[in-house]
């Protein structure tokens, strides 16, 4: 199959836009105060303010046990839990999250950790209108 000049221009433009958006998303989050929203079974149980200087460990009590959440250098993660509490461990395998709107979800325990606040990237956030 032969590509015409217009086809190549269209493919090039799509690749350029895709790489540009990936580059914007890969930029580190802007400094500013953020809040870690902790929800359990659909109820907000805590909102923890933090920034780039915050280093702390939080224990979240759940019916099956507890989850250990680490905040360091403006990032958040869930430490691995025993298989009895979280059988697949997907929430801890996500790793660090840092940008506004990022979330860590532990479905077996109905735990949702969401990063809110800080300076957001309006261009990137405007592209994700479905989840807003």
Predicted pLDDT at 44: 94
Domain region containing 43 = 34-125
Q: What is the pLDDT of residues 13-36, one digit of tens each?
A: 999 999 988 887 666 555 568 899
Looking at the structure of the chain, the number of domains it has is 1
Q: How far is CA 22 from CA 17, 56, 69, in A?
A: 9, 30, 28
Q: Specify if 5 maps to a domain.
A: no
Which residue has better confidence, 126 or 52? 52
One-character DSSP codes across 52-77 = TT-EEEEEEEETTEEEEEEEETTEEE
Instruction: Evaluate whether residue 65 is within a structural domain.
Output: yes
Q: How confident is the model at residue 3 (pLDDT cuts 50, 70, 90)?
A: confident
| Nearest-10 Cα torsion for 132, 78, 61, 81 | 130
| CATH code, domain carrying 100 | 2.60.320.10
pLDDT tens per residue, range 37-67: 999 999 999 999 998 888 999 999 999 899 9
Query: Measured on CA atoms in the order 82, 66, 99, 55, is the torsion positive or negative?
Result: negative
Structure-token pair, residue 125: 């956030």
Give the three-state DSSP class for 78: strand
């Amino acid at each position: 199959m032969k590509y015409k000049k217009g086809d190549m221009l269209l493919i090039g433009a799509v690749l350029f836009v895709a790489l540009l958006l990936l580059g914007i998303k890969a930029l580190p989050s802007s400094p500013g105060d953020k809040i870690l929203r902790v929800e359990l079974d659909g109820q907000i149980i805590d909102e923890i303010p933090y920034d780039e200087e915050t280093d702390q460990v939080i224990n979240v009590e759940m019916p099956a046990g507890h989850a250990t959440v680490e905040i360091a250098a403006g990032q958040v993660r869930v430490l691995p839990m025993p298989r009895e509490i979280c059988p697949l461990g997907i929430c801890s395998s996500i790793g660090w999250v840092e940008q506004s709107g990022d979330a860590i979800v532990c479905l077996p325990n109905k735990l949702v950790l969401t990063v809110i606040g800080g300076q957001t990237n309006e261009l990137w956030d405007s592209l994700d209108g479905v989840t807003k």
